[in-house]
Amino acid sequence: MKQEYTISLFTEDHIGILSQITIILTRRQINIESITASESAVKGVQMLTLVVRTTAEMVQKVARQMQKLVDVLKVFVHTTDEIIYQEIALYKVPTKGLMSGNTIDHIVRNHHARILTVTPEYMIIEKTGHKGDITDLLEELQPLGVLQFVRSGRVAITRQVKELNAYLQEMDEANRPKPEEIRVFN
């Protein structure tokens, strides 16, 4: 059965890694629903967050393939209940909506959004939340005339305690030669 998975990839900061990852997903006919790239808490390590909809077996296959890429340090696959996540959206609506009583103010407050900018022609509203919350606000703003709408990809943090630093340290220790493997030549 298909379900939504969040794949978190920690990679070295090299050109072309995203292309390699999309090739793996394309071969398996898996569409990327959302993608976000950013630096991580570890200097020199980038984090890619991908949201895909597929089967448990398929997501594990692609995660193993991604893990084999040279620049990939670690790949994690999470279900929605294993992460804390948000998206951000911006909505541009005509300012005339402000003039129709407190309608826009009421909508913004009910959706826990905020107004970023107001000009004579338009205002920008910001909403942080899950995809459904963002879509609900969009639908409520539609009658006022949405001029532009943009939504980010998912930004996610795991609920697990073990952090990337611990995995990197384990990898370093596993790759470090044992004292009996070190030979000294004179």
pLDDT tens string 24-82: 999 999 999 999 999 888 888 899 999 999 999 999 999 999 999 989 998 999 999 98
Query: Between these two residues, 22 and 168, which has the higher pLDDT value?
Result: 22
Query: Between these two residues, 100 and 147, which has the higher pLDDT value?
Result: 147
Q: What is the rounded CA–CA span in Å between residue 140 and residue 119?
A: 21
Q: What is the rounded CA–CA span in Å between residue 41 and residue 52?
A: 24
**pLDDT score of 41:** 80
Find the DSSP H helices in 28-102.
Answer: 56-67, 96-99
**pLDDT score of 43:** 83
Q: Indicate the residue type of 22.
A: T
Is the confidence at residue 123, as pLDDT, over 70?
yes
Which DSSP state fits 121?
S
Q: What is the rounded CA–CA span in Å between residue 103 and residue 117?
A: 17
Domains belonging to the chain, first-starting first, are 3-83 (3.30.70.260), 85-151 (3.30.70.1150)
Interacting residues of 140 by C-beta distance below 8 A, sequence separation 6+: 107, 111
Is the confidence at residue 186, as pLDDT, over 60?
no
Is the confidence at residue 184, as pLDDT, over 60?
no
**pLDDT score of 169:** 65
pLDDT tens string 78-100: 999 989 999 999 999 998 866 66
**pLDDT score of 159:** 74
Concatenating the DSSP letter of every residue in the chain gives: --EEEEEEEEEES-TTHHHHHHHHHHHTT--EEEEEEEE-SSTTEEEEEEEEEE-HHHHHHHHHHHHTSTTEEEEEEEEGGGEEEEEEEEEEEETHHHHSTTHHHHHHHHTT-EEEEE-SSEEEEEEEE-HHHHHHHHHHHGGG---EEEE---EEEES-S--HHHHHHHHHHHHSPPGGG-----
pLDDT tens string 58-69: 999 999 999 999
**pLDDT score of 102:** 74
Tokens of 117: 């900018």
